Amino acid sequence: MDEKFDAIVVGAGPSGNSAAYLLAKAGLKVLQIERGEYPGSKNVQGAILYSDALERVIPDFREDAPLERHIVEQQMWVLDDESYVGNTYRSAEFNKEPYNRYTIIRAQFDKWFSKKVQDAGALLICETTVSDLLMDGNRVIGIQVDREGGAVYADIVILADGVNSLLAKKAGFHPELDPKDVALAVKEIHFLPQETVQERFNIGEDEGVVIEMVGKITQGMMGTGFLYTNKESITIGVGCMLSDFKKQKTTPYALLEQMKTHPAIKPIIAGGEMKEYTAHLIPEGGYKAIPKICGDGWLMVGDAAMFVNAVHREGSNLAMTSGRLAAETVIALKEAGKEMTAANLALYREKLDDSFLMKDLKKYKNMPEILHSNPQFFTTYPELVNRAAHSMLTVDGVDKKSKEREIRGNFVGKRSLFGLMGDAFKLWRAFE
Amino acid sequence: MKVEDKLFQNRYKVDAGHPHISIKNPDICQNDCKSVACTVCCPAGCYMEEGNGKVVLITDGCLECGTCRIICSEHRNVDWEYPRGGYGILFKFG
């Protein structure tokens, strides 16, 4: 395989597929390498698909993409051990086409996306792991794969190799990830009859619900839980920062088991048949943790580049957007007859800075630090809010003013007046 | 539900005789590492601490997440590669 390509894309997830698709469509000679048996067989996501990002790559994706349910309702739960306080947003607007978000099953979706990439003309090779980048000095000139004689060359190598990105570490582009910058999420998929899913969530055919959770389910760790409705299954999971898992001595699977017994969650998944258990790292370090994303002969997209907006649970859209912008950059340089040098590839960074991707990450740049150093947002507050709701909603002959006084007392008792003001200020700063 | 029962639902193509992760120096886990965080954090329970403090790694149930590599930050004692192409976990749903 001593061949030369215009571009090599490592990985066939959302970022790699977006890049490979657009490059191939523009007529470039593209090789894509995937280590799984088929695209998707190594990939894990919640999973919510954000239409806008995909539309900008494949405008008519709705015609044949394997989509589970479009989201009509979003819930946010703040949980105590026995209860939760929640808010719900449900809108008929979300029931009008074109739909904005869908649940998907990644193994199916990635396969579909990959077919589009191949139809566009890219050469995909599966069951092949890229072991190293081939360098000429500081310049990446190709890849080495784990097959005999596996050196392949290209003008540009796009690293879409996911959160671990071993290639960038081996090549010395990145240091090892810091446990405080990555979350570990575990999840299960539970199958139920389609009608049961619809009855439990009060939704029609094709309509879906998202529930995001914060509170005692993470047992004091910085993290969140989630529950998504698929066509005939429910995905349930929980994720916390690795640095917290390390401190807490709680196993991820025990955490998930505990979460499944919560009185508000248990009945939703009751009777379901669990068919797969998955785990995945999510790069949640945010803006300040973004590593070097391009250099001579290489570009980096998606999770590998830490493009995840943890606050809004967005990642796959950032992956597809960065894949698209990487492809646009390479195509522009190619058309202008320019070389794939670090200086020329800086155009990629400019495009990212101009997009929602960097703007959003920049907006929440202080969030990880604030949450790391203020665990009360995951423990004390959920407890206080739930107790307050319980008090106000229990009719027991105590007057409301006294109840209010007691609630206020609880808040001040737990956090002090300055603590409360400080927390409010921190949150305001984080969301500013 | 125990972690073994969870993993039982998954599909794997085990590369017999070629584990993709190994402990570089077992003595470090046994004598120098206080936390043995790998035995707690691995979502597939691949790392087990034996009575004598020895850490045993069996990669067959590995979900290829990368946790063990990253949490071993003091000693960097985990040699971590992806499985050979086509081997390892095969997600049906992902």
- For residue range A390-403, list pLDDT tens digits in order: 999 999 999 999 99
Per-residue confidence at A2, pLDDT binned at 50, 70, 90?
low
User: How does pLDDT run across A128-138, given as a tens digit for each residue?
Assistant: 999 999 999 99
What is the distance between the alpha carbons of residues B7 and A411, in angstroms, rounded to a whole number?
A: 43
What pLDDT score was predicted for residue A286? 96
Q: Is the peptide bond before A47 cis (omega within 30 degrees of 0)?
A: yes
Q: What percent of chain A clears pLDDT 70, i.e. is strictly above it? A: 100
Domain A179-283 matching CATH 3.30.9.90: the answer reads yes
CB neighbour list of residue A204: distance below 8 Å, 6 or more residues apart: A198
DSSP structure string for A31-74: EEE--SSSTTTT-----EEEHHHHHTT-TTGGGT----EEEEEE
* Alpha-carbon distance A174 to nearest alpha carbon in chain B (angstroms): 13
Give the DSSP letter of residue A162. T
SS3 A391: helix
Candidates A259, A269, A277, A284, partner chain B, best to mutate (most B CBs within 10 A): A277
Residues A394, A397, A401, A403: is their CA dihedral positive or negative?
A: negative
CB B13 within 8 A of CB B86: yes
For chain A, how big is the Rg over CA atoms in Å?
23
User: How does pLDDT run across A82-103, given as a tens digit for each residue?
Assistant: 999 999 999 999 999 999 999 9
The number of beta carbons lying within 10 Å of the beta carbon of residue A128 is 20
Q: List chain A domain ranges.
A: 4-66+104-175+291-354, 179-283, 372-431
Per-residue confidence at A430, pLDDT binned at 50, 70, 90?
confident
What is the distance between the alpha carbons of residues A252 and B42, in angstroms, rounded to a whole number?
A: 8
Per-residue confidence at A141, pLDDT binned at 50, 70, 90?
very high
What average pLDDT does the structure give for chain A? 96
* Alpha-carbon distance B14 to nearest alpha carbon in chain A (angstroms): 13
What pLDDT score was predicted for residue A427? 85
Residue of A nearest to B41 (CA): A251
Q: What percent of chain A clears pLDDT 90, i.e. is strictly above it? A: 93
- Inspect the interface and report whether the beta carbons of A129 and B45 lie closer than 8 Å: no
Mean local confidence (pLDDT), A320-349: 98
Q: Angle at which helices A400-415 and A417-431 pack, to 10 degrees?
A: 80
What pLDDT score was predicted for residue B7? 97
By the CB < 8 Å criterion, does B24 face chain A? no
Per-residue confidence at A249, pLDDT binned at 50, 70, 90?
confident
Can you read off the two tokens belonging to residue A14?
């959302």
Predicted complex ipTM exceeds 0.90: yes
Q: For residue A431, is pLDDT > 70? A: yes
Task: List the domains of chain B with CATH numbers.
Answer: 3-90 (3.30.70.20)
CB A259 within 8 A of CB A265: yes
By the CB < 8 Å criterion, does B36 face chain A? no
SS3 B81: coil
A292 phi-psi bin (left φ>0, alpha ψ -120 to 50, beta other): beta
Report in angstroms the alpha-carbon separations of A220 from A378, A428, B4.
6, 22, 26
Using the CB atoms, write b or e for A334-366: b if 16+ within 10 Å: beeeeebeeebbebbbebbeeebbbebbebbeb
User: How does pLDDT run across A18-75, given as a tens digit for each residue?
Assistant: 999 999 999 999 999 999 999 999 999 999 999 999 999 999 999 999 999 999 999 9
What pLDDT score was predicted for residue A57? 98
The number of beta carbons lying within 10 Å of the beta carbon of residue B65 is 27
User: How does pLDDT run across B1-36, given as a tens digit for each residue?
Assistant: 999 999 999 999 999 999 999 999 999 999 999 999
Q: For residue B48, is pLDDT > 80? A: yes
* Alpha-carbon distance A422 to nearest alpha carbon in chain B (angstroms): 32
Residue of A nearest to B63 (CA): A279
Per-residue confidence at A124, pLDDT binned at 50, 70, 90?
very high
Longest CA span, chain A: 83
Q: For residue A311, is pLDDT > 70? A: yes
User: Domain A4-66+104-175+291-354 carries which CATH code?
Assistant: 3.50.50.60
Q: Residue A226 is inside which H or E element, if any?
A: strand A223-229
SS3 A102: strand
- Inspect the interface and report whether the beta carbons of A106 and B89 lie closer than 8 Å: no
Can you read off the two tokens belonging to residue A101?
């978000």
